Amino acid sequence: MEKRLIHQVMPYHRIIHWQRAALKLKGDALSSRVSIVIPVFNQWELTRKCIRSILDHTEENSFKILIVDNHSDDRTEEMLARMVRENEALACIRTLRNYGYGPGCNIGALTWPGEIIVFLNNDTEVAPGWLPPLVSPLEKDCDIGAVGPKLLYKNGSLQCGGVVFNPRSNIPYHIYEDFPGDHRAVNKPRFFAAYTGACLAVRAEDFFELQGFDPIYSNGMEDIDFCLRMGERNKKILFNPASVIYHLKGQTAGRGERVLQNRRIFVSRWKKRIVPDDHCYYAEDGFSVEAYYRPETGLPDKYARFRAKLASSASGFQPF
């Protein structure tokens, strides 16, 4: 049990050594076929439900779950110690302080890598059969760099079925958000430029080669940045709706505190390389864009997210 309860004794910059980690993959240091890395800060009840859903709905016997406790100050540490004692598939590392989402994921990936790493938010609950559709595309096609599931809100509407860009803004948005989860437009496997880090499956070797999530971001845009860097290496990002996960979204304290800072960094890095692509998906699905609108307030247009207002361009195929 002690090997599965690790208290980090070094600061973040001393843990991260990507070249050394890559060498691990050539030896016998892999923990399993699949490692599920879940960074958490407080919200112990959500974390417990997330872990429980994985244990209840995952038939694979070759996975490990690693919780990266970003120095929670509620009952998280106590709850995780108990669950680790009860479940051989579960391990936990507790950090010296709250490093945030990206560094937390990086620490988890380096601590206990599997051949494939699934990054998962703790405010999620997986549905039966969720894991094979996430990992099998990575095993079958070396051109696929990452796979994301169909993320649903608790009421069954879509939270994310792919991330797209539009000509109105440099900031991407979730295509078809709030559509019914059974709408045919959101139930076709296809490739996107990016996907949300709420759940993202990648090969360990690809993750290490890209040196993980860039810690220059603070709980925002690091997932999109990662996917775009993956795309620059000619790796594709697959959305596979056969994998279903329910996501509460934005439950971690301080989640949106640095939205503007993160977006400024993202735009300065990517604005000359972003290609608007949302209209291609809408045209394929029988929609056209009437206009773009802002679901957010308080941000300059340059850094605001715009979403599409859709009209049907195909008979009998109406937008929700």
Confidence check: pLDDT of 10 > 90: no
Angle (CA) 200 204 205, round 5°: 130
Cα–Cα nearest to 136, from 13, 217, 236, 240: 240
What per-residue confidence (pLDDT) applies to 315? 43
- What's the whole-number average pLDDT of the chain? 91
| Beta-bridge partners for 317 | none
Task: Look at residue 15 in the predicted model and tell me its pLDDT.
Answer: 74
pLDDT of residue 264: 97
Does 14 have pLDDT greater than 80?
Answer: no
| Domain chopping of the chain, boundaries | 2-312
Beta bridge partners of 308: 292
Give the model's pLDDT for residue 5.
82
Position 316 scores a pLDDT of: 43
Contact status, residue 174 vs residue 185, Cβ threshold 8 Å? no
Pick the CATH number of 2-312 from 3.40.50.1970, 3.60.20.30, 3.90.550.10, 3.20.20.70: 3.90.550.10
231 pLDDT more than 80:
yes
Given a cut of 90, whether residue 219 has pLDDT beyond it is yes
**What are the pLDDT digits (tens) for 157-195?**
999 999 999 999 999 999 999 999 999 999 999 999 999
pLDDT at 251: 53
Q: How confident is the model over 16-29, as pLDDT tens digits?
A: 778 777 776 765 55
Per-residue model confidence as pLDDT tens digits over 130-153:
999 999 999 999 999 999 999 999
Mean pLDDT computed over 3-8: 74
> Looking at residue 285, what is its pLDDT?
96
Residue-wise pLDDT tens digits, 235-263? 999 999 999 999 986 555 555 679 999 99
Instruction: Give tens-digit pLDDT for 117-134.
Output: 999 999 999 999 999 999
Tell me the residue length of the chain: 320
- Whole-number pLDDT of residue 253: 53
What integer pLDDT is reported at residue 320 of this predicted model? 46
Assess contact for 270 and 229: CB atoms under 8 A: no
